[in-house]
Structure 1
Amino acid sequence: MSLKQRLILGLTTTLTLGACSSNSNIFDNTLGLSDYAIIGGKGLTSKDDISKSIVGIYIHNKETKDIEICTGSLLPNNLVITAAHCVSDSVGELDIALIFNTNMDMKNIKMEQVRYVDKKSITTWWGAGGHEEIDTGDIALLHFNGDVPAGYTPATILGSADALQDGAPVILAGYGVNKVRKTAIDENTYPDLINAVQLGTVVCENNQNLENCYEITKSGEGTLRQVDVTIANAKFSSSEITVDQTNGKGACQGDSGGPAYILSGGRYYLWGVTSRGIDDQFNDCSVRAAYTNIPFFATWLRRAAAKLSTSLTNPNLLSQ
């Protein structure tokens, strides 16, 4: 079954089951939360300016049948920027759809709000030797068919990273979980503990001996949210910046590829792509998150865009 058929089936199922179930949506047992989303933030609607350049990404692996969600930022010429790890599964071919709605619950989505990705470009750093821990190149560009749905406008990319300093206030946004619960467990009675640890649903202070373990549960995915945080380390690596999440706010599982903005002169400037957690032993999104620095990849972005569509030498894309 194609991704388009799956989405149509999901929409049809919602129409037939919605009257008897308030939980009828795309988030079933097959849905993966592809890394990072928003904790401690506020929900966004189509009336919020920041939401007008953010899209949900629905990813279906045709071989494994897994489904995941990520987030992306709209750019000119039918392009969306996101995280490489969202769209580069090592096993199986991916079908990718973009959801132009602030809520990814199927009962809220119309087919005219869906666009299908036909081309993509990923940095050569991603998956390359020497880039496993830092400077991972976790950035990708997608091209989609059709026009841009009404109400959406491209983001403006920050032209220089000079304003991105330690302690600077920034804004994160994305779809995904907004609640994380850490519950102590009895290691002697917990069912299939080893498998749970391997899956990441249980984390332990001592993984080798399976001691002091906690069950991690997450909920609330599918709604677009934003949150205010500060930069923790603007020089984490040559191409990555970390944000502080120790105040109960920040990025968490479910929203990889989402945007980071800085506000200047009343305008939001896109500078980052959500990549991964840092020093997050308990996988509860309470320490730091790493963001790919978009201005660092400006040359790659222009070249990739030229291959995917027309030139992006557009004053509405890159600030001066």
Structure 2
Amino acid sequence: MRLSSITIVFLLSSALAAPSPSLHSASSSSCRCGIVRSSSSNRIVGGRETDPQDLPWQAALMWRGHGWAGCGATVVGRRLVLTAAHCTSGKTADRLSVMVRSGRIFNPDAESLRFDVAEIIQHSGYSEVHNGNDFSLLRLSEPIEFPADGSIAPACLPAPGDTYLGATATVSGYGMLSWKGELSVTLRSAHVSVISNAACERAYPGSIKDSMLCADGDGERDACQGDSGGPLVAERDGRFSLIGVVSWGKECAEPEYPGVYARVTEALDWIRENAADDDFCD
């Protein structure tokens, strides 16, 4: 299972820790969710290298004052970042920070920003045994001021009750290029198709819960180790919504074994219960 090997990435990231970008906020504010202003078409397993402005909500979980903590995350509000519970389990807020606006993980871009984590809010229904409710909210110590150029922007929350069945979605992260293979270290993305939980259950009998969403890359495109906690987004009417959080799967891009994500529509009430009134953008 992909999840069981995430510790490989944690160990590797500690050994390759890079100097931290400066800790500060972006200067001006433009708060609209799910908007991509970049016109770049630059190119995870089977994916392509991606300009961070094409994925302005992409974040990376970092050890505070050190390097990468082996997981991705998604900006969803001014002070809120969503990641996977298995990425924060056993960790404390005072050891973590979040990096945004960087196309590289070990030699971060000069434009990258880092924010300390003030609080970890792990979903009470998370199960390490069954991987259900694999959600963790990170409350930042200071708000992100979203710049007018759109280089940092939150993903929208998904429409309640929408299954996104059949949607083409984008998964992104800094993880490995193949199972137990080379680490990408640059931001990459890939397109996958959302499938039904019933179809996913045939690949993973007895393992698929309502709190999970599955997406298929035809055995060619998938998340991999190091992408855990990162975003699966889908576009509707020109806005991108966070529909899944990278969670687990059988190795990476295995034919007939879809990637499994935490289904964000199942956690909307929990997210809003733990958010402040001014956390979200229009």
Per the normalisation by structure 1, the TM-score is: 0.63
In structure 2, relative to structure 1, the CA distance for the partners of 1:68 and 1:76 (3 Å cut) is closer
Alignment of 1:145-160 (within 5 A): 145-148=141-144, 150=147, 151-160=151-160
Residue of structure 2 in register with 1:239 after alignment? 211
Relative distance call for 1:43 and 1:117 in structure 2 (3 A) is same
Flag the 1:110–1:245 CA change in 2: closer, same or farther, 3 A.
same
Distance in 2, Cα, partners of 1:284 & 1:314? 33
1:11 to 13, 19, 32: 19
Partners of 2:222 and 2:252 within 8 A in 1: no
In structure 1, runs of 5+ residues without a counterpart are 1-5, 13-37, 181-216
Instruction: Report the counterpart of residue 6 of structure 2 in structure 1.
Output: none
The code of the aligned residue for 2:247 comes to: S
Closer, same or farther in 2 for the Cα pair 1:145/1:124, shift >3 Å?
same
Tell me, yes or no, if the aligned pair for 1:59 and 1:94 is still in contact at 8 Å.
no
**What is the SS of the residue equivalent to 1:77?**
coil
Alignment-derived partner of residue 89 in structure 1: 90
**CA radius of gyration, larger in:** 1
Q: Which one has a larger percent strand, Structure 1 or Structure 2? A: 1
Aligned to 1:176: 175
Superimposed CA distance per residue, residues 76-107 of structure 1 (whole angstroms, 9 cap, x where no aligned partner): 231100100101127x8871111113334443
- Please report how far the alpha carbon of residue 74 of structure 1 lies from its aligned counterpart in structure 2 after TM superposition: 0.5
Identity %: 22
Name 2:189's counterpart in structure 1.
226
Q: Which has the higher mean CA deviation after the structures are superposed, 231-240 or 220-229? A: 231-240
**For 2:80 and 2:279, how far apart are their aligned partners in 1?**
13
How far 1:276 sits from its partner (Å)? 0.6
Q: CA deviation at 1:314?
A: 4.3
Among candidates 35, 55, 70, match of residue 59 of structure 2: 55
| Secondary structure at 1:71 match in 2 | strand
Counterpart in 2 of 1:303? Answer: 273
Report whether the alignment pairs 1:73 with 2:69. Answer: no
Q: Deviations over 1:50-71 (max 9, x none)?
A: x1111111147xxxx9963211
Distance 1:313-1:115 versus aligned 2 partners, 3 A rule: closer
Cα distance in 2, alignment partners of residues 315 and 112 from structure 1: 21
Q: Could you give the per-residue CA deviations for residues 257-312 of structure 1, whole angstroms, max 9, x where no partner exists?
A: 111111211221111111111xx2xx34412211111111111111122xxxx226
Is the contact between residue 44 and residue 102 of structure 1 (CA under 8 Å) also seen in structure 2? no
For 2:24, the equivalent position in structure 1 comes to: none
Q: Which residue of 2 aligns with 1:267?
A: 239
Q: How does 1:86-235 map to 2 (within 5 A)?
A: 86-89=87-90, 95-110=95-110, 113-127=113-127, 132-133=129-130, 136-148=132-144, 150=147, 151-165=151-165, 167-180=166-179, 217-234=180-197
- Give the residue type in structure 2 aligned to 1:11: P
**8 A Cα contact 1:302 1:312, kept in partner:** no
Structure 2: runs of 5 or more not aligned: 1-13, 21-43, 199-207
